[in-house]
């Protein structure tokens, strides 16, 4: 009832100004420390980071990886179990999305050429993936990594894992490594994350095309259907991967990154390697020897993350997911099993119970503010062999080619779905749509992958942007992105219909009113929302990645007290498209909490249950520089403005000097 409604949340810090300093800037009264950075050893017996790239490839199986991204904090009880209420001791799982190799990892940057140096590629393979480390409170609410903890673990692009769900044993995932299609090696390009109520970590495979290539002439070796699928997933023949791992030699560690027909049968080569990435992976952080599982029922695409709705006893487990590429879709998974709180600490067996059987849906957003979840089940909605564009063979085929199934159903193509989050106070789901340069003028004739605006992706305009070298370029489309949200009908997570609006539009404060549709001001203007997280108290945290505002400010994180779907009404966006929007932002409802160092992305966030320790990640500081001339010296520059060390991705701990709750 409303009698016991908690007091409304109120932001209680002074907004941080936009800036381009080589520092993490937090509000007055707050402090930061570095928890861990690229190359830090997890165990004793390993040398500390030397700042010269001399660490061995193998040692990265026991060091913090590169490109810190999504993460989650799990409270740890004294008997080594998941305790969701514990704030002073926990396990922190962190994604290491990719290697910012030209800067920090190797002695002399990344050696580029027609072929790669094997030792460099091997190091890159082990620097990807996930780290799990034990953390504990030190001084006040500050946290440190517990070096040598039995829980400390790396999962890399070479770690063995199993397939579960519809694709387990399917011909689509049979390889030389796993002729029965039951297992595979590695997870990589793990961008965002999720978690489960039973206490496991969810990590998602996004830009795996960074490391998977395909030979010239390969189309002629394949069925027409396979060629359609590879192309739809961004792998035309004669496609070299940016990292060229498959050029480092004849060792299986390297050869397997070529999605090409080289043998007589699929079990003789790695023609199916692409089908082994793009999944949701579950890892049990409490059991360091457990085998990670690729939970195929949740579909395959550029998986940004998977965010659960709060678990309710007797109701299904629900995960919301985004496919981060221009014009791709938003998905939802609803488990067949209903939640039994006795499964807390159920580990991978609980994962199998809730994540291997269920229904996958894709979202359609209508102009009138309603929406539908369209079911992606083999044999329904024309998803079978009769589908002319791509005949489906079985549910394993549907989940592996979820994009092709969603195309058939007419789902809504979005402006790059990034992170999601579910409001613990009212169950409404939010998702960032970071930007889209392929939206075109509503009066134009779209070509190729261009799309006109629609109600859920309504903005088309031009934005002038000054590069670091002083040259000006014009971004067109939706350069600053937006955040959409929806409320399931009848308050049911399993509903197949919902109401939606656009919570917040990114914009520069001085932009025209039909661009700055949320009324942002100097205390809260931002571009390209990416990371998103509701903390346990219901504060919403918004993180930014690059975007069209880095001529003015480094990337940032904002705190927000959101309203609810439908609180803003109808507006007309630049480009002339009508849309449903949230209430205008004010300094009371959206406020800039921090600004990161130079050329970084702010990503990944976790808050302890008591709200007193906040973790976030700085990814790729100095990305736009070179080894000879880094544009950032962070994290060393945090304490010493004239530092000369290499820039490194790192996890940062934020606390209040007075020991109070963060953000309030
Ligand atoms: Fe790794 Fe979609 O950002
Ligand atoms: Ca991201
Ligand atoms: Ca991004
Ligand atoms: Ca970035």
Per residue in 107-131, pLDDT (tens digit) is 998 888 889 999 999 999 999 999 9
Report whether pLDDT(4) > 70. Answer: no
Å from CA of 545 to ligand 3 middle:
5
* Helix (H), strand (E), coil (C) string for 266-333: HHHCCCCHHHHCCCEEEECCCCCCCCCEEEHHHCCCCEEEEEECCCCCCCEEEEEEEECCEEECEEEE
Q: Complex ipTM, two decimals?
A: 0.91
Q: Which atom of ligand 1 is nearest to the CA of 191?
A: 1
Identify the pLDDT of residue 101: 67
Number of Cβ within a 10 Å radius of residue 476? 15
Residue 191 CB–ligand 1 contact under 6 Å: yes
Best CA proximity match to 565, nearest among 488, 507, 468:
488
Residue 97 CB–ligand 1 contact under 6 Å: yes
Identify the pLDDT of residue 362: 99
Residue 218 CB–ligand 1 contact under 6 Å: no
Identify the pLDDT of residue 477: 93
Q: Which atom of ligand 1 is nearest to the CA of 69?
A: 1
Q: What is the mean pLDDT of residues 307-314?
A: 97
Number of Cβ within a 10 Å radius of residue 142? 16
Neighbours of ion ligand 3 (CB under 5 A): 530, 545
Residue 456 CB–ligand 1 contact under 6 Å: no
Å from CA of 2 to ligand 2 middle:
37
* Cα torsion 354, 358, 362, 367: sign: negative
Å from CA of 596 to ligand 2 middle:
15
Identify the pLDDT of residue 1: 42
* Ligand with an atom nearest the CA of residue 620: 4
Residue 601 CB–ligand 1 contact under 6 Å: no
Q: Which residue's alpha carbon is at the smallest distance from atom 3 of ligand 1?
A: 191
Q: Rounded to the nearest 10 degrees, how much is the dihedral formed by the CA atoms of 209, 215, 221, 227?
A: 30
Check: CB of residue 499 under 8 Å from CB of residue 456: no
Residue 304 CB–ligand 1 contact under 6 Å: yes
Distance set, CA 425 to CA 169, 314, 489 (Å): 41, 19, 16
469: Cβ contacts below 8 Å, ≥ 6 apart: none
Span of 474-478, 571-575, 589-593, 619-623 with lowest mean pLDDT: 474-478
Using pLDDT thresholds of 50, 70 and 90, give the confidence band for residue 91.
very high
Best CA proximity match to 101, nearest among 39, 186, 47, 193:
39
Report whether pLDDT(536) > 50. Answer: yes
DSSP string, 105-124: TSBTB---SSS--HHHHHHH
Q: Which atom of ligand 1 is nearest to the CA of 416?
A: 2
- Average pLDDT over the chain, rounded to an integer: 96
Residue 525 CB–ligand 1 contact under 6 Å: no
Distance set, CA 206 to CA 321, 324, 532 (Å): 11, 7, 16
Whether this prediction's pTM lies above 0.95 is answered by yes
Å from CA of 478 to ligand 1 middle:
17
User: Helix, strand or coil for residue 225?
Assistant: helix
Q: Which atom of ligand 1 is nearest to the CA of 545?
A: 3
Percent of the chain whose predicted confidence (pLDDT) is above 90: 91
| Strand ranges (E), 80-220 | 89-96, 129-137, 143-145, 153-155, 160-164, 183-185, 190-195, 201-205
Å from CA of 324 to ligand 1 middle:
7
Q: Tokens representing 74?
A: 């799990």
Identify the pLDDT of residue 3: 56
């Amino acid at each position: 009832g409303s009698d016991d409604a908690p007091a409304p949340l109120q932001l209680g810090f002074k907004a941080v100004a936009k800036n381009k300093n080589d520092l993490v800037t937090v509000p007055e009264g707050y402090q930061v420390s570095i928890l861990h950075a690229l190359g830090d050893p997890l165990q004793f017996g390993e040398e500390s980071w030397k700042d010269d790239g001399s660490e061995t490839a193998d040692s990265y199986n026991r060091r913090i990886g590169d490109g810190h991204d999504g993460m989650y904090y799990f409270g740890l009880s004294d008997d080594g179990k998941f305790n969701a209420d514990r704030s002073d001791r926990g396990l922190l799982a962190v994604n290491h999305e990719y290697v910012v190799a030209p800067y920090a990892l190797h002695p002399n940057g990344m050696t580029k050429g027609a072929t790669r140096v094997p030792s460099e590629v091997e190091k890159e393979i082990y620097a990807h993936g996930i780290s799990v480390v034990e953390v504990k409170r030190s001084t006040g609410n500050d946290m440190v990594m517990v070096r040598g903890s039995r829980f400390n673990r790396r999962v890399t692009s070479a770690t063995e894992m199993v397939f579960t769900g519809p694709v387990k044993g399917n011909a689509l995932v049979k390889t030389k490594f796993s002729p029965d299609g039951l297992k595979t090696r590695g997870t990589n390009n793990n961008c965002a994350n999720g978690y489960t109520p039973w206490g496991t970590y969810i990590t998602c495979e996004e830009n795996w095309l960074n490391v998977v290539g395909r030979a010239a002439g390969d189309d002629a070796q394949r069925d027409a259907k396979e060629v359609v699928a590879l192309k739809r997933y961004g792998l035309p023949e004669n496609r070299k991967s940016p990292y060229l791992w498959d050029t480092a030699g004849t060792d299986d560690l390297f050869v397997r990154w070529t999605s090409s027909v080289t043998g007589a049968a699929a079990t003789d080569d790695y023609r199916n390697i692409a089908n082994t990435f793009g999944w949701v992976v579950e890892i049990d952080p409490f059991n360091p020897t457990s085998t990670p599982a690729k939970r195929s029922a949740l579909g395959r695409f550029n998986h940004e993350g998977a965010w659960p709705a709060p678990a309710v006893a007797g109701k299904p487990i629900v995960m919301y997911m985004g496919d981060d590429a221009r014009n791709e879709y938003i998905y939802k998974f609803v488990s067949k099993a209903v939640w039994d709180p006795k499964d807390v600490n159920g580990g991978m067996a609980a994962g199998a119970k809730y994540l291997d059987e269920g229904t996958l849906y894709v979202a359609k957003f209508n102009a009138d503010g309603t929406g539908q979840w369209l079911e992606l089940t083999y044999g329904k909605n024309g998803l079978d062999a009769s589908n002319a564009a791509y005949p489906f063979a079985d549910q394993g085929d549907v989940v592996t080619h979820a994009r092709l199934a969603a195309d058939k159903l007419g789902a809504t193509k979005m402006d790059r779905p990034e992170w999601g989050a579910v409001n613990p106070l009212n169950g409404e789901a939010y998702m960032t749509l970071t930007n889209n340069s392929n939206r075109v003028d509503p009066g134009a004739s779209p070509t190729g992958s261009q799309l006109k605006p629609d109600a859920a992706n309504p903005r088309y305009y031009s934005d002038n942007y000054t590069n670091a070298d002083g040259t000006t370029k014009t971004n067109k489309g939706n350069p600053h992105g937006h955040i959409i949200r929806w409320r399931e009908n009848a308050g049911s997570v399993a509903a197949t219909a919902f109401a939606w609006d656009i919570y917040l539009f990114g914009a520069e404060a001085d932009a025209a009113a039909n661009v700055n549709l949320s009324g942002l001001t100097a205390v809260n203007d931002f571009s390209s929302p990416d990371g998103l997280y509701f903390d346990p108290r219901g504060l919403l945290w918004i993180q930014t990645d690059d975007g069209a505002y880095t001529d003015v400010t480094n990337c940032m994180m904002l705190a927000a007290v959101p309203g609810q779907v439908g609180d803003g009404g109808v507006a007309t966006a630049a480009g002339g498209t009508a849309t449903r929007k949230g209430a205008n932002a004010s300094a009371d409802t959206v406020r800039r909490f921090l600004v990161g160092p130079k050329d970084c992305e702010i990503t990944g966030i976790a808050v302890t249950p008591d709200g007193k320790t906040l973790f976030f990640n700085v990814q790729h500081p100095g990305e736009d520089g070179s080894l000879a001339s880094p544009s950032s010296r962070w994290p060393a520059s945090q304490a010493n403005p004239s530092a000369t060390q290499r820039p490194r991705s790192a996890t940062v701990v934020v606390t209040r000097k007075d020991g109070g709750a963060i953000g309030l």
